[in-house]
Amino acid sequence: MTETSNAQWHDEPTDYDQTGKLPRLRPASSADPRSLGSLNITAAATDPELLDLPWHIALEQWPASALAALPRGISRHIVRFAHLGGSVIAVKETSEHIARHEYHMLRKLQRLDVPCVEPVAVISGRTTPEGEELDPVLVTRHLKFSLPYRALFSQTLRRDTLTRLIDAQALLLVRLHLIGFYWGDVSLSNTLFRRDAGSFAAYLVDAETGELYPELSTGQREYDLEIARVNIAGELMDLAEGGLIEEKVDPLATSELIMDSYRRLWSELTEQESFELGERWRVGARIRRLNELGFDVEEYAIKTAANGTEIQLQPKVVDAGHHSRRLLRLTGLDAQENQARRLLNAMDAYRADNSPTLDEEFSAHLWVNEVFEPIVRAVPRELGGKLEPAQVVHEVLEHRWYMSEREDRNVPLAEAVQSYLDDELRHRRDEAAIMLTADARTIGIDEDSEYTDN
């Protein structure tokens, strides 16, 4: 008698139907049906390759052949990385309630365009061949070119690097609070970082304690901020104990930086500003300051005082990604905010040097053809996973500027590219997917612990 799989797919729609249930698709399986059992899969899209993974085995016992060797940090859950088609996924064992809550929360955050990992599926109904029940899992897609904070550098973390990480964390927290998201477990460990020109971009990894509200109270925001301060202080103490940050760094004082960074940004984005009627230019100045911070003002309120001599300005809706959207509109290139700012500056300089009267869109097209694409094409295939293309272009342009200054001449682009490839990029770690090596412990990664994607 031939056994058939009971694996069932639930394709996750944008909205539930009137019964509150998800539509069920017909069973599909390319794996041995006996190893699947009665799996229940809720996914944003049907991906049959999910069925090729050994769901009948406890996650911490998965064979090496099924795993992707990525660094793992401390986690309260069992987390493993596995290959799925051409990407890498993170698999976390947890309760079904938590897995489904986090899955749906990540889906909502994605729709709100918040930087976070992509949810792939919730898989329940796992059993061993002997019928023993196994914990459900949440599957998320690993964020390419992202790094946990412990793996950012193979040497001692400097204070200014920590400050940039904390600033990125503060910006992420502000963006979450603006949309009404209460995190509840803010920490460097629950965040992934991607290089963003000379700074970092932060992405939310763990949403299991998060809740989405129409608006957060001051108390909710302050409590989240206090959680961040305490958690970051503990993480920095752990790094200091392992000799992974400069001795002069005070973990407690450094953790306070997130409070200052967050409050400065929140104040600029949300506080009401009053000025005299004759100072109406300050409306445009406020909006330009917000643009410089990477935010667009989609709506604002202006009120005049009863005596008619004073104006009150209140930003109502701010949307992150000002420079990224402009770069995408002009060139079709998708980049992090600070990368976009740097590339836009390079485009403006190119236009000023070559043809100031040229149409902006046409000049941007020429810049992509004559600067951006030649740099990207010059990177050998074996170095392609070192950094994402926008970061490479940013670093090449920086490298060229320093070369020109040092040698007191205008260094040709091709010469600068070759120098950068030989002197810098070739010696960088592969950040598309940092593999575990014997050096893992030198960057604070314990190969027997779980990389925190919880």
Distance CA(324)–CA(366), nearest Å, equals 19
Phi first, then psi: give them for residue 387, nearest 5 degrees: -145, 160
Phi first, then psi: give them for residue 82, nearest 5 degrees: -140, 155
pLDDT of residue 75: 64
From the CB of residue 51, how many other CB atoms can be counted at a distance below 10 Å? 22
pLDDT of residue 132: 92
Distance CA(187)–CA(170), nearest Å, equals 10
Single-letter residue type at 133: E
**HSE on the CB side for 15, CA within 13 Å?**
2
pLDDT of residue 9: 58
pLDDT of residue 48: 82
pLDDT of residue 73: 53
Q: Are 105 and 207 in contact (CB under 8 A)?
A: yes
Phi first, then psi: give them for residue 357, nearest 5 degrees: -90, -5
From the CB of residue 72, how many other CB atoms can be counted at a distance below 10 Å? 23
Distance CA(66)–CA(55), nearest Å, equals 11
- Is residue 358 left, alpha or beta, with left meaning phi > 0 and alpha meaning psi from -120 to 50? beta
What are the Cα distances from residue 225, in Å, to 58, 177, 307? Answer: 36, 10, 39
Q: Where are the alpha helices (DSSP H) in 256-321?
A: 257-270, 281-292
pLDDT of residue 74: 57
pLDDT tens per residue across all 454 residues of the chain: 333 345 565 555 444 343 333 333 333 344 455 455 688 999 877 778 888 899 999 999 999 888 887 755 556 788 999 988 878 899 999 999 999 999 999 999 999 989 999 999 999 999 998 889 999 999 999 988 888 887 764 455 677 778 888 999 999 999 999 999 999 999 998 999 988 888 889 999 999 999 999 999 999 999 999 999 999 999 889 888 878 777 788 889 989 999 999 999 999 888 888 877 777 777 888 888 888 888 887 777 777 777 666 777 778 777 788 888 899 899 989 888 889 989 998 998 888 888 888 888 899 999 999 999 999 999 998 888 888 899 999 999 999 999 998 998 989 999 999 999 999 998 877 665 554 443 333 333 333 333 333 3
pLDDT of residue 183: 97
Distance CA(130)–CA(241), nearest Å, equals 45
pLDDT of residue 454: 37
Length reported for the chain: 454
pLDDT of residue 203: 95
Distance CA(161)–CA(138), nearest Å, equals 32
Single-letter residue type at 180: G
Q: 328-346 burial, b if ≥16 CB within 10 A, otherwise e? A: eebbebebbbbbbbbbbeb
